[in-house]
Structure 1
Amino acid sequence: MLSEIKGLSVEQIGGVKLHISAVHRFGTDAFLLADFAAPRHKDTVCDLCSGCGIVAAVMYERFRPKSIEAVEIDREGYELMTLTAESSALENFKPVCGDLKDWRAERELDLITCNPPYKRDGAGIKSAGEVALGARHEVLCSFSDVCKAAARSLKYGGRLCVCNRPERLCDMMCDMRAAGIEPKRMRFVSKNSDSAPWLVLLEGRKGGSPFLQTEKNFYTQTADGGISPELAAVYGQG
């Protein structure tokens, strides 16, 4: 019920009216992941751990792939995505309420994206609230679960694009390989050249051969602390 969604509001993402709430919001990492994944027009795409649907919405607006499915376990997140799809008249955009551990696409996909929980269960101070806890800690799914779900539904050569904290990089690569997805492309994100990376973007290919391309660092700020031209372009301001 809409009356039960606290803090309901709308963010305009180009022509998409993205519905968000007090617990389902988004950050810069969502835009960076969508830009890194960069689906082609002919691609069939799914976003896992979709939350309010921000990654799927940005990919829809910027790249217009053939189809997008967005999977979220929390009912409120699913309802927000449904509102977004209906109010924006999105075509070939399918919100799904379900557990990715049980999910399988109806047909093999070209691309799967995921902005997963960053913290292992039992690591760090746990977030307040059930939804926030599930979004930030691996209590509902692990990164290994994400990779297994992707492996079930990607076509051979299909891509899995994810983001996470740099300290999780070894876990990410090991879990990808264990699921038959080979890490192929990586990019670190920092505020500037003097700061350590706060995010890593990683792409793997199902059935790919070992070879990892490391792209130049992405800087979000200019020398004077303003938004970098590259980040402005990711936001659609360039």
Structure 2
Amino acid sequence: MKKNIELLSDEAIDDLQLDNLYLIQKKQGFRFGIDAVLLSNFANVKNKHRVIDLCTGTGIVPFLIYGKYKPKEVVGIEIQEDMVEMAIRSSKYNEIEDVVSFKNADLKDLKYLSSLGTFDVITVNPPYKLNNSGIVNLDDKLAIARHEIMCSLEDVIVASRKLLKDNGRMFIVHRPERLIDIFELMRKYKIEPKRVQMVQPNINKAPNIVLVEGQRDGGAYLKWEKPIYVYNEDGTYSEEINKIYGREK
């Protein structure tokens, strides 16, 4: 029996089709996509782990990670207060607020990050567009989620270095054109890239998503996973995507 949670007129509760979990989202505006699902699947999480999700939005990655792996604790950090408020209500609705919690904070505030302690695993689906395309409305929730307005890729890596325990792992989903930036910044802050997986719309199209795993103070060794194809050539979802979404026949 779920708790009775009040929804705003522009909100809906979506069934995540995972472990009876639900997520409050806006009917219009920012909604989670395939990036979050791929990231939670790519992450290597154990039930003894403390996990933190940066740029958490309305909390989709923490809920997926909780549903898949049942870690000891999952914390989500997000700078947009209204999204955090929605995530907190989702956690209460699912009656898991003792395990999955959310903080309205700026990941550039390293003093605040220090107060959280260290984590075994970091996940992050950061803004992926460089903020060099002119003026962007700072009140535009979608723009903040997609453009490096409130934080840069370097800010994300610096925060990850601060939050990871020794040999802890970070998992990031981004765009392939930023892969060199990711590698350079990880090595700059002593998070060694360890595993990469490309995601392609189909077998005939170039990758449009990349997943990267890094290890704090890890040794130099990089493993390339086989690519994921989202669609078959006939336009239906691939077997692997159906498996990731839990839609196996």
Normalization by structure 2: what TM-score? 0.90
User: Residues 37-116 of structure 1: matches in 2 within 5 Å?
Assistant: 37-90=43-96, 91-102=98-109, 103-104=112-113, 106-116=116-126
| Structure 1 unpaired stretches of 5+ | none
- Aligned-pair identity in percent equals 36
Establish whether residue 220 from structure 1 lines up as the match of residue 220 from structure 2.
no
Q: Structure 1 residue runs of 4+, over 2 Å off?
A: 123-130
Deviation per residue, 1:125-174 (Å, 9 max, x gap): 95795221211111100011011111111011101100111101111111
User: Residues 145-156 of structure 1: matches in 2 within 5 Å?
Assistant: 145-156=155-166
Alignment CA distance shift 1:125-1:200 (3 Å): farther
Deviation per residue, 1:190-230 (Å, 9 max, x gap): 02211100100001000011111110001111232101111
- Cα RMSD (Å) of the superposition? 1.8
Opposite residue 27 of structure 1, the aligned amino acid is G
User: What secondary structure is seen at the aligned counterpart in 2 of 1:25?
Assistant: coil
Structure 1 counterpart of 2:177: 167
User: What secondary structure is seen at the aligned counterpart in 1 of 2:247?
Assistant: coil
User: What secondary structure is seen at the aligned counterpart in 1 of 2:48?
Assistant: coil
| Counterpart Cα distance in 2 of 1:34 and 1:123 | 30
Deviation per residue, 1:98-146 (Å, 9 max, x gap): 1011141522110000000011111489579522121111110001101
Establish whether residue 11 from structure 1 lines up as the match of residue 32 from structure 2.
no
Structure 2 counterpart of 1:140: 150
Does the 8 Å contact 1:75/1:97 carry over to 2?
A: yes
| Counterpart Cα distance in 2 of 1:154 and 1:104 | 11
Aligned equivalent of 1:209, options 191, 209, 219: 219
| Counterpart Cα distance in 1 of 2:74 and 2:117 | 12
Does the 8 Å contact 1:38/1:59 carry over to 2?
A: no
| Counterpart Cα distance in 2 of 1:193 and 1:6 | 42
Aligned equivalent of 2:194, options 184, 203, 217: 184
| Structure 2 unpaired stretches of 5+ | 1-5
Aligned equivalent of 2:132, options 114, 122, 128: 122
Structure 2 counterpart of 1:20: 25
Deviation per residue, 1:38-84 (Å, 9 max, x gap): 31111110000000111111111111111100001101110111111
Per mean C-alpha deviation after superposition, the further-off stretch among 158-167 and 98-107 is 98-107
| Counterpart Cα distance in 1 of 2:128 and 2:144 | 10
Does the 8 Å contact 1:127/1:136 carry over to 2?
A: no
Opposite residue 97 of structure 1, the aligned amino acid is N
Does the 8 Å contact 2:37/2:61 carry over to 1?
A: yes
How many residues align? The count is 236
| Counterpart Cα distance in 1 of 2:177 and 2:186 | 16
